Structure 1
Amino acid sequence: MMSNISKAEIKEIKRNLPDYKKIIEQDDSYIENGNYKKIFISVFDHWLTNEEASEMIFVDENLDELKARRKKFEIVAEELYKATDIYFWKYKRNHRMVLKKPMDYKDVLRKCDFDNLWSQSGRRYSLILPEFSAIYSEEWDWTNIIWYTDEKKIVPILKIAERAGLNILK
C-alpha cells in the first residue's frame, strides 16, 4: 500500500528536483534547457547498432535471458529502496500529479512489476529520488534513464547499477 506524503517531503522533493513534473512528463522544451542531465543504465555494454538491436533487444522467447535481465533491474530497485526514500507518481482527476511513498518493498515490486518486464515494455514507472537529486525512469529497450541535477549525488545509484550487473552508458 502506498502512503500519502507530508508537506515537508513535498518541499524536499521540489528543492532537490525543481520542475520534476516536466521531466516525468518528458517536456522536450524543458529538457532542452539543460537543467537536468541524463545518463543511461543498460543490460548492454555499448550503444547497439541497428543490426545488433534487432538481435539483442528482443529476447522474450529466451526465458532464462529474460529472467536474468529482469533480475538486474529488480536488484537496482531493491537496493535503492534500502538506500533512500523513494516516491512514485500517478495522475488523479484533471491530469493532477500526486506523489506516493511505498510503505514497504512489496509496494515497489507491485509498481515496477518486474515479472512483466519484457523487451518492449517501458515507461511504466519512475522512481523519484530526492536525496540523489534524481529521477530513475524505466525505458523500453533494456535501458533506463537517470535524470539528475548533480552528478556527484548520483554516484551511489551508478554503483548500485554496476553491482547489479548493469552498464553505464553516456
Structure 2
Amino acid sequence: MRKVKTLSKLNASKEKSIHLQFPFLQNVKENINHGEMGQLALSVFDHWITCESEYHLLDNIGVIEQENRNQKFLSHWAAIFDVTEIFTLRYRGRWPQKEKLVIKQYTDKAGYLAQCRLKMGNSPFQFIIMPEFDCLYMASWDDTNHLYFNDRLKAEPVLSLAKKSGLHVLEYN
C-alpha cells in the first residue's frame, strides 16, 4: 500500500506570489509582527477571558468538554480544506545558518487534519495560508485561534465557516 503524500512542494512562481501577498509571513508565523494586517480571534468562547474569575474556563476542564472544543476547531479546519487551496510553512536545513522557510501545499485532507489535532506541546500547532481569502490562520493552545488578513471582506468566508462550526469571532481592540 502506497503512502499518501500530505504536503507537496510549490513551483517557484506560486511561492513567490504568496510571499508577495503576505510580506510579513515569517513574522506572523513566529508571532513577532504582522505589519498592517488585520487580526481577529476565532474562539470557543463568546467573549475575551480577561478576569481572573474566568481563568478556570481555560484549563482544568473535563475531557469531554475539551473534546467538544477540539471538535469545533477540527470541523472548522476541515471546512476550510473543502473550500480552498491551503498552504503552510516549513523550515528546512540546519538551524540557524542554513535554515530556509519553504511553503508547501496540503494535498491530502486526512493528513492535514491529523496535523490540525491539538498538540499541547507545540504552539502554534497549525499555521495555514489561504491566498484566495487573503488571510493566514494560526492555531493556539488556549481554545482561541488567530486570523490575520489583508482584506477582511475577502476573509469573510473563513469567518462564516467558523460560525457554522460553533466558533465565535472576537475583535481585537
Fold-level similarity (TM above 0.5)? yes
Paired residue type of 1:96:
K
Match of 2:69 in 1: 69
Q: What percentage of aligned pairs have identical amino acids?
A: 27
Determine if contact 2:87/2:103 at 8 Å carries over to the other structure: yes
Alignment of 1:20-169 (within 5 A): 20-28=25-33, 31=34, 34-60=35-61, 62-93=62-93, 94-112=98-116, 114=117, 116-117=118-119, 122-169=123-170
Aligned length: 162
Separation of aligned partners in 2, 1:131 and 1:18? 16
1:114-163 CA-partner distances (Å, limit 9, x unpaired): 1x445x76312201111111110011210000011111111000000000
Paired residue type of 1:141:
D
* 1:7 and 2:12 correspond: yes
Q: Structure 1's 169 and 149: CA in aligned 2 closer, same or farther, altered over 3 A?
A: same
Q: Structure 1's 49 and 133: CA in aligned 2 closer, same or farther, altered over 3 A?
A: same
Separation of aligned partners in 2, 1:117 and 1:45? 23
- TM-score with structure 2 length normalisation? 0.85
Gaps of 5+ in 2: none
Separation of aligned partners in 1, 2:30 and 2:64? 33
Deviation at 1:48?
1.1
User: RMSD in angstroms over aligned alpha carbons?
Assistant: 1.8
Separation of aligned partners in 1, 2:157 and 2:133? 8
Separation of aligned partners in 2, 1:162 and 1:52? 26
Separation of aligned partners in 2, 1:80 and 1:52? 34
1:2-53 CA-partner distances (Å, limit 9, x unpaired): 111122321331243223122212223xx3xx42110000000001133244
- TM-score with structure 1 length normalisation? 0.87
Segments of 4+ moved more than 3 angstroms? none
